[in-house]
Structure 1
Amino acid sequence: MATNAFAAGAYAAVQNIGQTSTAAGAGRTAQTGELPDFSAMVGSALGSVRESGQAAEAQGAAVAAGKADVVDVVTAVAESEAAIETLVAVRDRVIQAYEEIMRMPV
């Protein structure tokens, strides 16, 4: 169930990235009127994946100490796995887009 919430949050965040304000100009964010920073977006995504991995590790340590339920560990690991799979899929699409751009005639 938490994995579904994580995926829904990730999809909502990705959808918000592309939203622009027509008054601010094409390709500009609605909040600041500036172009979105791709490196900040990627850094944020990596931070999110790192946090989910750390949460899974913490749950694993808690169950080893007898302070957590195994279901919580499985849920945390599943969320971490979903985050990593999403990150890998995005990376693959970026590489595919780059390769397609490089094949374009100049």
Structure 2
Amino acid sequence: MDVRSLSAVQNYGAAKPATQPDPESGGAGAQIKTAFQDFAATLQRGEETAMAAMTGDADPHALVQALAQTELAVETAITVRNKVVEAYQEILRMPV
């Protein structure tokens, strides 16, 4: 048995948690999970306010405010997505 293969297996075992973040550990996984939950909640509030405004249960000011918050959340998500795609493309362009 080769000693280097044992070392590679140990190194892989040590690096594996970095590729599978645990949202419960309080690290970056938890922050990402919270951000996605906030995004979904903002979209849900916007939809609920829009439906309430259509039935006459919400005032126009609340509708405009909810739509502005939803628009800002979507634009932020698109910007983050674009940055992730750009970073991925930069990684692909790196020489091996």
Q: What TM-score does the superposition give when structure 2 sets the normalisation length?
A: 0.63
RMSD of aligned residue pairs (Cα, Å): 2.0
Shift of the alpha carbon at 1:92? 0.7
Q: Which residue in the other structure is 2:59 paired with?
A: 69
Q: Which residue in the other structure is 1:52 paired with?
A: 42
Q: Which residue in the other structure is 2:27 paired with?
A: 36
**Match of residue 102, structure 1, among 82, 92, 95:** 92
Q: Which structure: greater helix fraction? A: 2
The aligned amino acid for 1:85 is E
**Gaps (5+ residues) in structure 1?**
1-33
Q: Which residue in the other structure is 1:16 paired with?
A: none
Max Rg structure: 2
How far, CA to CA, are the matches of 2:67 and 2:60 in structure 1? Answer: 11
Structure showing greater relative contact order (alpha-carbon pairs closer than 8 Å, 6 or more residues apart): 1
The aligned amino acid for 1:50 is A
Q: Which residue in the other structure is 2:18 paired with?
A: none
2:70 is the counterpart of 1:80: yes
Change (3 A) 1:91 1:40: farther
Deviations 1:38-90 (A, max 9, x none): x4333322211111111111111222232211121111011011101101101
**Gaps (5+ residues) in structure 2?**
1-24
How far, CA to CA, are the matches of 1:81 and 1:35 in structure 2? Answer: 29
Determine what percentage of the aligned residue pairs are the same residue: 36
Question: Secondary structure at the residue paired with 1:68?
Answer: coil
Q: What TM-score does the superposition give when structure 1 sets the normalisation length?
A: 0.58
The number of residues matched between the two structures is 72
